[in-house]
Each structure stands twice: as structure tokens, then as C-alpha cells.
Amino acid sequence: MSGIDPRDLRSIDPRALRDACGSFATGVTVISTRTEDGDHGMTANAFMSVSLDPPLITISLDHNCKMREKVRASGRYAVNILSHEMEGLAMHFAGRHDPAHADPFVERNGLPVVPGASTIFLTEVVQEVEAGDHTLFIGRVTDIDRDQAAKPLLFCGGKFVALAS
């Protein structure tokens, strides 16, 4: 951080930062992968496009989440962008397990994916970047499936919201 006097840096409260970032509306995804011990999924909104050529996307996983080691072991992941009627599935993969979603995946090219998701990206991890208390997994997109008519599930201010028509 050349040129910045450390005395000029204010301490930022982690909760205040989380709340401020939460005021930015995001889509809701389920990150999924397959390892020797089965299929795994986790709700996340830390996903973004990185590059069109080559086609790269990234997910950001907390060092303490189980999915981090699952993706690392697999070397592949899928990003399932949820459609607006999938709030229950989002909650299931956020830790509020619902027996109605006990078997939520179908297979696509060796990865578990969410049927009915508005968009599905399949990737192979090409780079890991340590960033504070998270790891960024940059994935080369190997396949895309998109339902152009689907409306996305959004999250803002700590709650699910609908896209205005």
C-alpha cells in the first residue's frame, strides 16, 4: 500500500461492512460440486464474471466454510443462478435443511446441478487467490445452460426480493 499512511486508515467494523455490502442487490446462487464422498451445495451470492476471453467466472468462499475444501478437492464447480421461485432451495442450502429438497441435483457433465435454475455455469478451477478471510476460485467456464425467460431470485438488505417488472 505504497503512498498510504497507515494512520489515515480507519478501522472498519466487519458487521458494518457486511451490512453496507448487503445493500447491493445480488442474484442468489447455489454453488455445487462433486467429490468422492458425494454431491455438495451451498447458497452464495459472492459470484461474478471475470473475463469473456477466456471465459472465466469466480466464486468467493470463506475460509471456514466446508465448501471451500470440497471445491479445492474437486477442482470443479457449478454456479446455479436460482430463479425467483427457488427461495426454499436457497434456504435449504443456506443451512435450513428442508426434507423436500433432500435430493435436489441432477447430473450434468459430471457435476451436480439444480434443475430449473435460470442459468447454470460449469467450470474447472484454473486459479485460487487468497483474499483476506476468503478464497477466490477462478473457474474456466466449460458449459452454460440458460433459461432466458426465467426471472432471477434476488437478495438485498438481508431478505429475498423480487425483480420489478
| pLDDT tens for the 165 residues of the chain, in order | 456 555 555 688 878 877 776 666 678 999 999 999 999 999 998 899 999 999 999 999 999 999 999 999 999 999 999 999 999 999 999 989 888 888 899 999 999 999 999 999 999 999 999 999 999 999 999 999 999 999 999 987 888 887 776
* pTM of the predicted protein model: 0.87
- Domain 28-156: top CATH class: mainly beta
SS3 128: strand
Cis peptide upstream of residue 54 (ω within 30 degrees of 0): yes
The label of the residue with cell 446441478 reads 113
Kind and range of the H or E run holding 135: strand 134-146
Please list the helix, strand and coil fractions of the chain in percent, rounded to the nearest 5, in that order. Answer: 20, 45, 35
